[in-house]
């Protein structure tokens, strides 16, 4: 049975739950996130309601007090904020795409035997693979503090550890984060095996969808997601000031 795909807002909510900041605080019109070094997604400020010129210094001050350079996430409907930040010298960085697919679509064919596993807590080899892919200790701490059903993914290609990922569940959406395939194991189906394993785990938890967020500049991942039938349902970007 076909389901209606989740909305961008539902994907954003699932992302926030499954990849949470260390601390969130409401300051005036803003949601200020302390990412504790976990990357842009858990460190960017967003607006709670339409902001004005007078609100901008409030957010900038709050982020600087946390030891962070001001960073804003611009979502659909935030065009006025986007224009205001551009006027104040903020540049666009890291535009990202939202991809989603029904679990049933990804589980129609199983991953090859012993090609991918759902494992939690993380194994040492998983940490090593993430380190090699730039997913350091601070980003792995995001996984640890995610208060939701969750698992790690480990892929095996040519009898060697080949890739990793993290999955968190919110409602009927399984969000995939921190996918990384060893540079020597690319174009061998490892990424697809990881996604299929994510879907197998998601189905066991009663989820209907697998979703993920990826930078538009990732010219290997975006075509893969399109080719396997994932749906591009939206995007957002960040704005920050050059130093």
One DSSP character per residue, the chain reads ---PPPPHHHHHHHHHHHS--SEEEEETTEEEEE-TTS-GGGT-BEESS---GGGHHHHHHHHHHTT---EEEE-TT-HHHHHHHHHTTPEEEEEEEEEEEEHHHHTSSPPPTTSEEEESSPPHHHHHHHHHTT--HHHHHHHHH--SSEEEEEEEETTEEEEEEEEEEETTEEEEEEEEE-GGGTTTTHHHHHHHHHHHHHHHTT--EEEEEEETT-TTHHHHHHHTT-EEEEEEEEEE---
Based on the domain organization, do 230 and 152 belong to the same domain?
A: yes
Structural domain contains residue 240:
no
pLDDT tens profile 39-62: 999 999 999 999 999 999 999 999
Single residue among 97, 128, 161 that ends a domain in this structure: 97
Based on the domain organization, do 88 and 147 belong to the same domain?
A: no
- How large is the angle between the packed helices 137-145 and 124-132, nearest 10 degrees? 130
Structural domain contains residue 1:
no
Q: pLDDT-derived band of residue 243, with 50, 70 and 90 as boundaries? A: confident
Mean pLDDT for the stretch of residues 71-100: 97
Structural domain contains residue 202:
yes
pLDDT score for 185: 80
Structural domain contains residue 212:
yes
pLDDT tops 90 at residue 178: yes
Q: Please give the Cα distance from 210 to 169 (Å, whole number).
A: 9
Based on the domain organization, do 78 and 111 belong to the same domain?
A: no
Based on the domain organization, do 169 and 219 belong to the same domain?
A: yes
What's the whole-model pTM score? 0.96
Based on the domain organization, do 42 and 108 belong to the same domain?
A: no
Structural domain contains residue 220:
yes
Q: pLDDT-derived band of residue 3, with 50, 70 and 90 as boundaries? A: low
pLDDT tops 70 at residue 2: no
Mean pLDDT for the stretch of residues 189-217: 97
Structural domain contains residue 178:
yes
Q: Give the residue numbers spanning the domain of 67.
A: 8-97
Token readout for 50 is 């339409």
pLDDT tens profile 67-83: 999 999 999 999 999 99
Based on the domain organization, do 167 and 109 belong to the same domain?
A: yes
Based on the domain organization, do 106 and 223 belong to the same domain?
A: yes
Based on the domain organization, do 75 and 161 belong to the same domain?
A: no
Based on the domain organization, do 12 and 111 belong to the same domain?
A: no
Beta carbons of 149 and 205 less than 8 angstroms apart: yes
Q: Please give the Cα distance from 133 to 113 (Å, whole number).
A: 25
What's 152's domain CATH number?
Answer: 3.40.630.30
Single residue among 68, 97, 126 that ends a domain in this structure: 97
Domains in the chain, number: 2
Structural domain contains residue 3:
no
Q: Please calculate the CA angle 14-17-22 and round it to the nearest 5 degrees.
A: 145
Based on the domain organization, do 177 and 92 belong to the same domain?
A: no
pLDDT tops 50 at residue 1: no
Q: Please give the Cα distance from 159 to 161 (Å, whole number).
A: 7
Structural domain contains residue 103:
yes
pLDDT score for 188: 84
Based on the domain organization, do 91 and 186 belong to the same domain?
A: no
**Average model confidence (pLDDT) across the chain:** 96
Mean pLDDT for the stretch of residues 18-34: 98
pLDDT tops 50 at residue 240: yes
pLDDT score for 186: 85
Single residue among 35, 62, 97 that ends a domain in this structure: 97
Q: Please give the Cα distance from 200 to 125 (Å, whole number).
A: 22
Based on the domain organization, do 85 and 172 belong to the same domain?
A: no
């Amino acid at each position: 049975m076909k389901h209606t795909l989740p909305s961008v807002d539902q994907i954003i909510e699932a992302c926030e739950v499954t990849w949470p900041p260390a601390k969130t605080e409401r300051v005036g019109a803003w949601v200020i996130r302390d990412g504790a070094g976990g990357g842009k997604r858990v460190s960017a400020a967003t607006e709670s309601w339409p902001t004005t010129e007078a609100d901008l210094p409030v957010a900038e001050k709050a982020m600087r007090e946390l030891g962070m350079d001001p960073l804003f996430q611009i979502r659909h409907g935030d065009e006025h904020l986007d224009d205001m930040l551009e006027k104040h010298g903020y540049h666009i960085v890291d535009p990202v795409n939202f991809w989603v697919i029904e679990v049933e679509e990804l589980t129609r064919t199983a991953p090859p035997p012993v090609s991918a596993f759902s494992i939690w807590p993380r194994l040492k080899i998983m940490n090593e693979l993430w380190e090699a892919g730039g997913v350091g200790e601070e980003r792995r701490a995001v996984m640890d503090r995610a208060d939701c059903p969750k698992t790690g993914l480990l892929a095996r290609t040519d009898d060697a550890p080949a890739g990793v990922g993290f999955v968190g569940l919110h409602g009927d959406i399984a969000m995939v984060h921190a996918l990384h395939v060893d540079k020597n194991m690319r174009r061998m189906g490892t990424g697809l095996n990881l996604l299929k394993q994510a879907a197998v785990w998601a189905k066991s938890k009663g989820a209907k969808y697998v979703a993920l967020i990826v930078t538009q500049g990732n010219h290997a991942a975006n075509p893969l997601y399109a080719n396997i039938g994932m749906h591009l349902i939206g995007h957002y970007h960040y704005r920050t000031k050059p130093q």
